[in-house]
Structure formats: structure tokens, C-alpha cells
Copies of this chain bind each other. A is one copy, B any other.
């Protein structure tokens, strides 16, 4: 039986995060010692590792929930798992595209400013006026 700190160390997950996963039903409720501390089986460690690895690959907790459900029923077809992964791939590709457009704009504004006063700062000028941009960027955030 493993203590929560062991799971934490073995998977690089904060202890609070493990408790959080339990709270939202992603991890099963762990057994407890007489004093109330959580104790885990190796299969719980495996599940946590799966969750963390999926997070590292950018999957949302909702997607991970689906993937875990599928993984628990080995007889089904894996079409659904594959489609979740393909969706994730498309999202990543979209993000890369968007970020590359941002990179281009940022690079240009930084390059074109020669560091004079704020009044002539190219960076601030572009931020004030989108018509100075080469690309459209209608979505917000990262």
C-alpha cells in the first residue's frame, strides 16, 4: 500500500492535485488507514500516471475521463480513443498556426522599433491600430 506522497513523487504530481482528482471523480476514492490517511494500490499509481501523461500531451480532464473509461473496457473497438486523439491533434495544430501568426506580428513590431520615445514607439503604435498588422487574429488569448 502506497501513501499519497509516494504517488506524488513517482508521478511528479502535487499531493493536492491527487486529492483534487479524487474530488472530481477522476481517481477512485482511496482506502484509509485507521488514522484517516489515504493508501493506494499500484493500479491507482498506474491510473494517475496515465492521467498525468495525458495532461502532458495536452488532453483535457474531460477527454482523459473518456480515455480512462475506454481503457477500462478492453473488448471495445478503439475508434473513439483514436478520434479523441485526432481531435487533440487538430487542436494543437490550430494553436500552432495561431501562435505562428502572433509570432510574426510580434517579431515585426519589435524589429521596427528603434527605441525612441513612447510617442514614436512602433510597438505601442501597432497595439493602438490593428490596421498596421499583416494578419487577422480574431480569437483571443493563447
| A residues neighboring B (CB under 8 Å) | 12, 46, 49-50, 52-58, 67, 70-71, 73-79, 81-82, 84-86, 88-89, 92-93, 95-96, 99-100, 102-103, 105-107, 109-110, 113, 115-121, 123-124, 127-130, 137-142
* Complex contact B139–A56 (CB within 8 A): yes
* Complex contact B67–A124 (CB within 8 A): yes
Count identical subunits in the complex: 2
Pick from A71, A129, A141 the residue with the most CB of B within 10 Å.
A71
Cβ 8 A contact of A58, one of B52, B118, B141: B141
* Complex contact A140–B106 (CB within 8 A): no
Write 10 A-B pairs (CB below 8 A) sorted by A numbering: A52-B140, A57-B137, A77-B117, A78-B115, A78-B124, A81-B121, A82-B121, A89-B107, A92-B103, A92-B106
